[in-house]
């Protein structure tokens, strides 16, 4: 058995030396002619292919129309006008807040917004070193009264504010706020830039977007004001910013848009007070990280170069004149 | 050139302990240099925007700088 | 004869034809005289011949000379530099990561802001006690009179249970500042009471003198002194 196999192999080997290429080519030709003979009626193939393509595209289309599209529960008017994108300087990758603008924005908040809107999450101490000196912030905090801890008799007294206290709210609670504002709750502004779609652009558009009078045909309920940027267009807050409303101590002209811009930047700070540090750390990490990445790519290539440039050389032993059983090639069969 | 390189190799790299110490000392120096340099760049990009650039307007002269 | 058989045969034959076509760079310098003796037994002819006749030696190491670099030192220095730089930068990153986690575990800014209490001393008249809250604990502030200072300083403190001179317990003799928690079981002592003119703990009857030292009763230690500072005249910062 073994001998016959080896013999056959030896014959094949001898054959291959001379006629291998030709044999394979003829075999290939044979195979291709066979397959074409099987698929003789081509129109059937075309029809099947076309039908399955149409079915696939059609089912995808059907699925997309059923489930893929965004569902609009509200009309465009109910969504509110989309806020204009403005080129905010502090939103650029490598820019901090303009801290002079933060200071002006806090002035606007304190003199205008704070009569209705709270800023519960901001303690006085965070103003120190971002837009105020210690003494200024302390003086502002002391203008407000806070509850003390119970004294010896268990009574709660009032004390002037400290830096560790939070900015006081204009109303005692949400119910009092609703009662004072026709049932509409002025939202807390601490995280407002993060909380509204459009962020800075939305708040700026809202503050500056009050038209002189509602456009013809717009229905405005009593007690509400028309603002195209507010979802539903009827907003309880009236226009508050008018030119010259506040006096900026640094002499910046207090136009409506300047005040809106400053207060928006301040509200962005109150929502993301860590932004300056975050951006600074961010690009440092990117710089170090890209150097590390380049180094690691080099080191990967360095470590693999041994494997990648390896050359194997094999000089097969001569087969002539050897008994078959001594031939390692044939013995392996 | 080759002399300098073989000097570097023999003094810093040959012994593993010295090589490791060099790496850590270098990392320490790099951190200081990188922080100083990157902060300088950052402050130049944001010149006039940060609190430290404008606080002199609000600090009274002679007050303690807290 | 099947297709597979033929293709196998083709595959087998290809190294031979390759060898014939492309002559390989094989060093013939190596001497193999010793090895030959061990393998040339009678009755066994090794297929791996040693280059007899015009056939090449099959086991000699080829000459890799053309792949060798001529500048070994500079290459080594460069390679170690790259590896070392990556190690150093990674160590820097690891150090900063660990540092950030540790910083994250320390007291946050709002806790630190409440850790200090400022007291206006001008509102406390001589011979009066004031109790303020600091980190949730009562703190006694006593504006001592000259008589009380003299009494506190003249006491033979060496023989007390927790011996401590008055000068160790105050920064300014007229201001005694203590944490108002009895060292026995944590009650709040009553001021201007007890046998020694200081504080008296109503829970188990510990008497403290006008320097806040334990004189009588179960308490083991004097009243604790918090860290405090007088940043300017008439102002006190505890913490």
Q: Is C207 among the catalytic positions?
A: no
B19-49 burial by CB neighbour count: b if 16+ within 10 A, else e?
A: eeebbeebbeeebeebeeeeeeebeebbeeb
CATH number for the domain including C231? 2.102.10.10
**Superfamily for domain range B2-65:** Cytochrome b-c1 complex subunit 9 (1.20.5.260)
* Structure-model confidence comparison of residues C135 and A100, the more confident one: A100
Residue A322 has pLDDT above 70, yes or no: no
Least confident of A26-35, B41-50, C64-73: A26-35
Q: For the ranges A91-100, A251-260, C27-36, which has the lowest average pLDDT?
A: C27-36
A113 labeled part of a ligand binding site = yes
pLDDT for C19 equals: 42
pTM for the whole structure: 0.69
Which of A86-90, A100-104, C162-166 has the weakest average pLDDT? C162-166
Which position has the higher pLDDT, C135 or A185? A185
Query: Quick one: what percent of chain C has pLDDT higher than 90?
Result: 12
| Beta bridge mates, C126 | none
Exactly one of C49, C184, C204, C207 is catalytic; which is it?
A: C204
C partners (3+ CB pairs within 8 A) are A, B
The residues spanned by each domain of chain B are 2-65
Domain count, chain C: 1
A288 touches chain C (CB under 8 A): yes
pLDDT at A31 over 60: no
Tokens encoding A306: 């041994």
Burial of C44 (0-12, 13-18, 19+ CB in 10 A): exposed
pLDDT, greater one: A323 or A302:
A302
Which residue of B5, B19, B27 is in closest CB contact with C74? B5
Consecutive H or E run containing B39: helix B16-45
**pLDDT attached to residue A157:** 84
3-state secondary structure of C162: coil
Instruction: State the average pLDDT over residues A249-256.
Output: 92
In this predicted structure, what is the pLDDT of residue C121?
80
ipTM score: 0.84
A183 alpha carbon, distance to own chain's centre: 35
* CB of A224 closer than 8 Å to CB of A155: no
DSSP, res A316: P
Residue C157 lies in domain: 115-238
The residues in C 80-119 lying below 8 A from A, measured between CB atoms, are: 82-83, 85-86, 89-90, 92-93, 109-110, 113-114, 118
C-chain residues within 8 Å CB-CB of B26? 84-85, 88
> What is the residue whose two structure tokens read 């002199």?
B56
* A138/C146: higher pLDDT: A138
Which pLDDT value is given to residue C35? 44
Decide if C221 is inside a domain: yes
Mean pLDDT for chain B overall:
87
Are C188 and C182 in contact by the 8 Å Cβ rule? The answer is: yes
Question: Distance between CA A119 and CA A133 in Å, rounded?
Answer: 20
Task: Find, in chain C, the residue whose alpha carbon is nearest to that of B13.
Answer: C80
Position A270 confidence tier, pLDDT thresholds 50, 70, 90:
very high
Higher pLDDT, C226 or A75: C226
SS3 A69: coil
C76 burial level (CB within 10 Å; 0-12, 13-18, 19+): middle
- Tokens linked to C173: 């003799």
pLDDT number for residue C180: 83
Per-residue pLDDT at A169 exceeds 60: yes
What pLDDT score was predicted for residue A17?
Answer: 46
Regions of chain C short of the pLDDT cut 50: 1-38, 40
**What is the nearest CA distance from B54 to chain A, expressed in angstroms?**
7
- Is A237 labelled as part of a ligand binding site? yes
Is residue C60 in some structural domain? no
Segment B30-46 shows an average pLDDT of 95
């Amino acid at each position: 058995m073994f001998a016959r196999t080896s013999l056959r192999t030896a014959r094949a080997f001898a054959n291959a030396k001379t006629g291998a290429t030709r044999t394979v080519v003829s075999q290939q030709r044979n195979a291709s002619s066979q397959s074409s003979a099987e698929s003789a009626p081509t129109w059937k193939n075309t029809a099947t292919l076309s039908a399955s393509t149409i079915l696939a595209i059609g089912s995808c289309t059907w699925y997309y129309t059923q489930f893929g599209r965004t569902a609009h529960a509200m009309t465009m008017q109910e969504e509110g006008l989309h806020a204009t994108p403005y080129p905010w300087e502090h939103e650029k990758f490598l820019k901090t807040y303009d801290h002079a603008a933060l200071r002006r924005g806090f002035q606007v908040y304190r003199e205008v917004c704070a009569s209705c809107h709270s800023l519960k999450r901001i303690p006085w101490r965070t103003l120190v070193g971002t837009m105020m000196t210690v003494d200024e912030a302390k003086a502002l905090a002391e203008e407000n009264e806070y509850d003390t801890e119970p004294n010896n008799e268990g009574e709660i007294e009032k004390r002037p504010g400290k830096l560790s206290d939070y900015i006081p709210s204009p109303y005692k609670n949400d119910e009092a706020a609703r009662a004072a504002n026709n049932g509409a709750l002025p939202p807390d502004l601490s995280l407002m830039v993060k909380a509204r779609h459009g962020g800075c652009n939305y708040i700026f558009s809202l503050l500056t977007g009050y038209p002189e009078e509602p456009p013809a045909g717009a229905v405005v309920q009593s007690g509400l004001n028309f603002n195209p940027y507010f979802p539903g267009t009827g907003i309880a807050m009236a226009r508050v910013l008018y030119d010259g409303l506040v006096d900026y101590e640094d002499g910046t002209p207090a136009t409506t848009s300047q005040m809106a811009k400053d207060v928006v930047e301040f509200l962005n700070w109150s929502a993301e007070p860590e932004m300056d540090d975050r951006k600074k750390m961010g690009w440092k990490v990117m710089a170090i990280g890209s150097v590390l990445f380049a180094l690691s790519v080099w080191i990967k290539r360095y470590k693999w170069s041994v494997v990648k440039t390896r050359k194997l050389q094999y000089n097969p032993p001569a087969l002539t004149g050897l008994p078959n059983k001594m031939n390692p090639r044939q013995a392996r069969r | 050139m080759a002399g300098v390189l073989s000097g570097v190799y023999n003094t810093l790299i040959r012994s593993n302990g010295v090589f490791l110490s060099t790496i850590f000392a270098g990392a320490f120096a790099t951190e200081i240099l990188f922080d100083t340099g990157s902060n300088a760049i950052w402050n130049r990009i944001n010149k006039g925007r940060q609190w430290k650039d404008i606080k002199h307007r609000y600090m009274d002269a002679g007050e303690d700088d807290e | 004869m099947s297709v597979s058989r033929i293709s196998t045969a083709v595959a087998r034959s290809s190294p031979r034809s390759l060898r014939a076509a492309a002559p390989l760079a094989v060093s013939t310098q190596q001497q193999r005289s010793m090895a030959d003796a061990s393998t040339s037994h009678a009755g066994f002819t090794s297929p791996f011949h040693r280059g007899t006749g015009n056939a090449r030696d099959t086991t000699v190491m080829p000459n890799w000379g053309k792949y060798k670099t001529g500048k070994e030192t500079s290459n080594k220095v460069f390679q170690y530099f790259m590896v070392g730089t990556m190690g150093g930068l990674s160590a820097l990153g690891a150090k900063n990561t660990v540092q950030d986690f540790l910083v994250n575990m320390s007291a946050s800014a709002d806790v630190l802001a409440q850790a200090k209490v400022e007291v206006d001393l001008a509102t406390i008249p001589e011979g009066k006690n004031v109790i303020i809250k600091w980190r949730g604990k009562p703190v006694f502030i006593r504006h001592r009179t000259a008589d009380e200072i003299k009494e506190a300083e003249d006491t033979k403190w060496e023989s007390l249970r927790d011996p401590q001179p008055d000068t160790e317990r105050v920064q300014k003799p007229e201001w005694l500042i203590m944490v108002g928690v009895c060292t026995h079981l944590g009650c709040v002592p009553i001021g201007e009471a007890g046998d020694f003119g200081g504080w008296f703990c109503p829970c188990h009857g510990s008497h403290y003198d006008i320097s806040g030292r334990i004189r009588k009763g179960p308490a083991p230690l004097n009243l604790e002194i918090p860290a405090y500072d007088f940043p300017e005249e008439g102002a006190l910062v505890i913490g």
